[in-house]
Amino acid sequence: MSLRVVWIYPDLLSTYGDHGNVLILERRARMRGIEVETVHVRSDERVPLQGDIYLMGGGEDRPQILAAQRLRNDGGLNKAVAAGATVLAVCAGYQIIGQEFGDDQDRPMPGLGLIEARSGRGQVRGVGEIVAEVDTQLGLPTLTGFENHQGVTRLGPSARPLARTVVGVGNGDGTEGAFYGKIVGTYLHGPALVRNPGLADLLIAWATGGPVRQLPPSWADRLREERLAATRPAPTG
């Protein structure tokens, strides 16, 4: 079995250790005997259509606008998704896969429309640890990560929130992220998969078309437990 991972525009959208998601997918697939081929697509290159998992990271305002324009002109990601590809988009990338997002003046900019979501600029910047309980439909344990964004996202009826926030801002309405088909968007920025190996495994399962076997515990699991213990509100009473 093999897996083609496509990292979209690391030259434009890569600010917070986004490479971590590539590394985690590679590691967890290879440990299961799945061959992995990773393609880094620069912003002046065409997005290949044959990828299994497409990853998109975070970025400043200007790079976000440029990346969205180029991906719309390119059309490759939309075609790949129509053919059944899996997508993980974080932070600026999450906003880009929606229908629209706000620029630095909060003027609406067109997104890729891969998921029914509209993002704008919020009043305050959400910076800090985030903890959120994942939609039971996905069967994943609690999400833990770090967010750093000023976005507010509202979902349309076809998209479902990825999780309900326990700590942190997320979409700004008590929910965090979104999913639709095999597309996941989240405000957990950068290496979101490091502390959420379950989410990494879900993406691998979607892309390979079957369940994946359990892996032995890793240091990332201990990190996950430590961060959850440090971040969750103390029990009252």
Residue 180 lies near another protein (rule: CB under 8 A):
no
Touching another protein, residues 75-104 (CB under 8 A): none
Tell me the window of 107-115, 122-130, 150-158, 163-171 that interacts with another protein (CB under 8 A).
Answer: 122-130
Which one among 1, 11, 50, 108 touches another protein, defined by CB under 8 A? 11
Which one among 20, 48, 122, 181 touches another protein, defined by CB under 8 A? 20
Touching another protein, residues 199-228 (CB under 8 A): 218-220, 222-223, 226
Residues 89-117 as b/e (b if ≥16 CB within 10 A, e otherwise) read: bbbbbbbbbbbbbbeeeeeebebbebbbb
Please state whether 128 falls in left (phi above 0), alpha (psi between -120 and 50) or beta: left
Asked whether the CA dihedral 165, 179, 76, 4 is positive or negative, the reply is positive
Cα R_g (the chain), whole angstroms: 17
Half-sphere exposure at residue 77, Cβ-oriented, CA atoms within 13 angstroms: 34
* Residue window 132-161: x/- pattern of binding to another protein, with contact defined by CB under 8 A: --------------x-x-------------
Which one among 128, 156, 174, 217 touches another protein, defined by CB under 8 A? 128
Give the integer Cα–Cα distance in Å for 132 and 188.
Answer: 10
- Cβ 123 to another protein shortest distance, Å: 18
Q: Which is nearer to another protein, 38 or 218 (CB)?
A: 218
Residue 27 lies near another protein (rule: CB under 8 A):
yes
E strands in 57-191: 86-90, 100-102, 108-110, 117-134, 143-155, 163-167, 175-176, 178-180, 183-186
- Cβ 20 to another protein shortest distance, Å: 3
Within 8 A by CB and 6+ apart from 125, the residues are 148, 149, 150
- Cβ 23 to another protein shortest distance, Å: 5
Touching another protein, residues 40-69 (CB under 8 A): 42-44, 60, 62-63, 66
Give the integer Cα–Cα distance in Å for 148 and 187.
Answer: 8
Three-class SS state of 36: strand
Q: Which residues bind another protein (CB under 8 A)?
A: 10-12, 14-20, 23-24, 27, 42-44, 60, 62-63, 66, 127-129, 146, 148, 189-191, 194, 218-220, 222-223, 226
